[in-house]
Amino acid sequence: MNGVVYPDYYRKFKCIADRCTDSCCIGWEIDIDSESMERYKNCGGELGRRLSENIALSEDGTLSFILGENERCPFLNSRNLCDIYAELGEDALCKICADHPRFRSFFSDRTEVGLGLCCEAAAKIILSRRGIFSFENPEEPWSDSFENALLDIRREAFRIVSADGDVFENLGRLLNFSEAAQYALDNGEAVSADNIFGGELPFLKGGRLAENAVSLLGKMESISAEWDNMLAEIISGNYETAFPERVRFDINEELEQAAQYFIFRHFPEAIDDGDVLSKAYFAAFGCAVIYVMEGVYLRKNGGLSFTDRINAAKLFSKQAEYSEENMEMFFEWVWDMKGGS
Ligand code: SF4
């Protein structure tokens, strides 16, 4: 069976285009697929001229749009709408633009499609959700035994982080469970979370980010000036973690959803590298950094709105998940921390 499966919130997504405060047409290199390139080559008139003048071969040999001032896509007009879309229609968008913010995980007999937390419309949907992660259609058993074991582990992981209580305690349990799960996966055994008790995050104590975690953030390639500013605040320890009670409750619920999103998105990467433990670490680390970033916004803005919390989640996602180099750096950090095991 070859199916495509989606999270239960997937169909709620709609790009908010000119109402987006953070267009994905700014600050990203946009690679053009060969089919779209053929179409652009044959486009006439003023748009054809602009297309021919605004596409170049990048260092890695792919064709991409030449970004303008402030790294804007040259076809993003002053109303933050796309001129290619306006003139040629949605079908003329290159694949990367039409697809964003979707991502895919490939199993032997199914493909999972999700929405990336880097997009504010998607982040709003993901963080507003409540309860345990679920798909549009109930999951069915698959033919590959490793993948089945991985999916069992992921289901347990969803259950652990969505349990009642403090999200960071649950994430600590997730790390303990994932240690056992990794062992079971390596040795072809079954694993259950039933006998996994308390846990603690090694990089978040008393609401403060550990020195080695801050130093890792400092070494990562920066994706934006916004991140540079945020990083400076984190390095200076300028974050408040004594959140007002009502906000604390919302943060807990939202980080529970963020954790499930990271688990949903990154656990399947273990199909290629067999390493589920570092993906669990990434989920916990992502939530810890978002939490600290929310503390920066609270201190800076004198309050913490839902928009601030969306901004924290999407900024972390863009900085970490959308840079291969930063993801690799994170996984190496985990392996070093685990003593290369
Ligand atoms: S970031 Fe999301 S909402 Fe904003 S323009 Fe891109 S796809 Fe649309």
Residue ranges per structural domain of the chain: 25-99, 139-337
**Which bin fits 57, alpha (ψ -120 to 50), beta or left (φ > 0)?**
beta
For 125, the token pair is 């949907």
Q: In sequence order, what are the residues at sequence separation of 6 or more whose Cβ sits closer than 8 angstroms to the Cβ of residue 101?
A: 24, 115, 116, 118, 119, 122
What distance lies between CA 229 and its chain's CA centroid?
20
Bond from prior residue into 7 cis (ω within 30 degrees of 0): no
Residues near ligand 1 (Cβ within 6 A): 15-17, 20, 22-24, 100-101, 119-121
CA-CA distances (angstroms) from residue 99 to 26, 30, 46, 94, 149?
Answer: 16, 12, 26, 9, 30
Q: Please give the pLDDT value at position 2.
A: 67
Q: Please give the pLDDT value at position 297.
A: 96
| Separation of CA 22 and ligand 1 centre (Å) | 7
Q: Please give the pLDDT value at position 279.
A: 97
Of 10, 24, 26, 318, which is best to mutate to test ligand 1, by the most ligand atoms within 8 angstroms of its C-beta? 24
| Separation of CA 30 and ligand 1 centre (Å) | 14
Of 26, 93, 100, which is best to mutate to test ligand 1, by the most ligand atoms within 8 angstroms of its C-beta? 100
Residue type, 157: A
Q: Which residue has the tokens 């959140």?
A: 243
Reduced to 3 states, what is the DSSP secondary structure of residue 23?
A: coil
| Separation of CA 16 and ligand 1 centre (Å) | 6
Please count the other Cβ atoms lying within 10 Å of the Cβ belonging to residue 311. 21
Which of 277, 273, 308, 275 is closest to 292 using CA atoms?
Answer: 308
Q: Which atom of ligand 1 is nearest to the CA of 100?
A: 7
Measuring from atom 7 of ligand 1, which residue has the nearest CA?
15
Q: Please give the pLDDT value at position 206.
A: 87
| Separation of CA 127 and ligand 1 centre (Å) | 16
Q: Which residue has the tokens 């685990």?
A: 338
Measuring from atom 6 of ligand 1, which residue has the nearest CA?
24
User: 209: which strand partners?
Assistant: 204
| Separation of CA 334 and ligand 1 centre (Å) | 31
Q: In sequence order, what are the residues at sequence separation of 6 or more whose Cβ sits closer than 8 angstroms to the Cβ of residue 51?
A: 40, 41, 43, 84
Of 12, 15, 125, which is best to mutate to test ligand 1, by the most ligand atoms within 8 angstroms of its C-beta? 15
| Residue-level pLDDT, tens digit, the chain, 341 residues | 568 999 999 999 999 988 998 888 988 888 999 999 999 999 999 999 999 999 998 777 889 999 998 889 999 998 889 999 999 998 999 999 999 999 999 999 889 999 999 999 999 999 999 999 999 987 776 677 889 889 999 999 999 999 999 999 999 999 999 999 999 888 887 777 666 667 789 899 888 999 999 999 999 999 889 999 999 999 999 998 889 998 999 999 999 999 999 999 999 999 999 999 999 999 999 999 999 999 999 999 999 999 999 999 999 999 999 999 999 999 999 998 876 55
| DSSP conformation class of 206 | T
Measuring from atom 5 of ligand 1, which residue has the nearest CA?
23
Torsion of CA 280, 285, 291, 293, to 10 degrees: -140
| Separation of CA 166 and ligand 1 centre (Å) | 31
| Separation of CA 314 and ligand 1 centre (Å) | 11
Q: Which atom of ligand 1 is nearest to the CA of 20?
A: 4
